[in-house]
A and B are shown apart, each in its own frame.
Chain A
Amino acid sequence: MQIVTTGVAGTMESSDIIIRIEPNDQEGIELSIDSSVMQQFGKQIEKVIRKTLFDLGVTSAVVSAVDKGALDCTIAARVSTAAYRASERTDYVWNGGVN
Chain B
Amino acid sequence: MEFELNKIPHLSEITAIHGAFNELAIPAKAHESLAERQRNSKKLLSSIEEAIKYVGLKDGMTISFHHHFRNGDYVINMVMDVIAKMGFKGLTLAASSLTDIHEPLIEHIKNGVIKHIETSGLRGKLAEAVSHGLMDFPIIFRSHGGRAAAIETGELHIDIAFLGAPSCDPYGNANGYNRDDENGSCCGSLGYAKLDAVKADKCVIITDHLVSFPNAPFGIPESHVDCVVKVESVGDPKGIMSGATRYTKNPKELLIAKTAADVIEASGYFNDGFSMQMGSGGASLATARFLREKMINKNIKARFALGGITGQIVEMHEEGLVQKILDVQSFDLVAANSLKNNRFHQQIDASYYASYVNRGAAVNQLDFVILSALEIDTDFNINVLTGSDGVIRGAIGGHPDTAAGASLSVVVAPLLRGRIPTIVGKVNTVVTPGCTVDVVVTDQGVAVNPRRPEIKERLEAAGIPVFTIDQLRARAERIVGVPEPIQYEDRVVGVVMYRDNSVIDVIRQVKEID
Contacts and interface: CB of A to CB of B under 8 A. Distances in A.
A contacts B directly in the complex (CB < 8 Å)? Answer: yes
B419 A43 contact: no
Contacts of A50: none
A18 to B, nearest CB: 15
A71 B419 contact: yes
A69 B418 contact: yes
A69 B419 contact: yes
A71 B480 contact: yes
Interface string A33-73: 00011111111100000000000000000000000111110
A90 interface: no
B454 interface: no
B483 A37 contact: yes
Q: Helix, strand, loop or mixed for chain B's interface?
A: loop
Contact of B420 (A37, A42, A43, A72): A37
Contacts of A70: 419
A44 B481 CA distance: 9
A32 interface: no
Contacts of B418: 14-15, 36-37, 68-69
B377 to A, nearest CB: 15
A71 B487 CA distance: 22
Contact of A41 (B417, B479, B481, B513): B481
B189 interface: no
Contacts of B483: 37, 40-41
Contacts of A42: 484
Contacts of B390: 39
Residue of A36, A37, A68, A69 contacting most chain B CB atoms (<10 Å): A37
Nearest to B418: A69
Interface size class of B (residues with CB under 8 A): 10 to 19
B5 interface: no
A43 B418 CA distance: 17
Nearest to B510: A39
B388 interface: yes
Nearest to A17: B419
Interface in B487-513: 487, 513
Contacts of A68: 418
B419 A15 contact: yes
Contacts of B513: 38-39
A44 B484 CA distance: 10
A2 B266 CA distance: 61
B49 interface: no
Nearest to A16: B418
Contacts of B388: 37, 40
Interface string A64-84: 000011111000000000000
Interface of B: 388-390, 417-420, 479-481, 483-484, 486-487, 513
Given A15-B418, A69-B419, 17 more contacts: A37-B388, A37-B418, A37-B419, A37-B483, A39-B389, A39-B390, A39-B486, A39-B513, A40-B420, A40-B484, A40-B486, A41-B419, A41-B481, A41-B483, A42-B484, A68-B418, A71-B479
Interface of A: 14-15, 36-44, 68-72
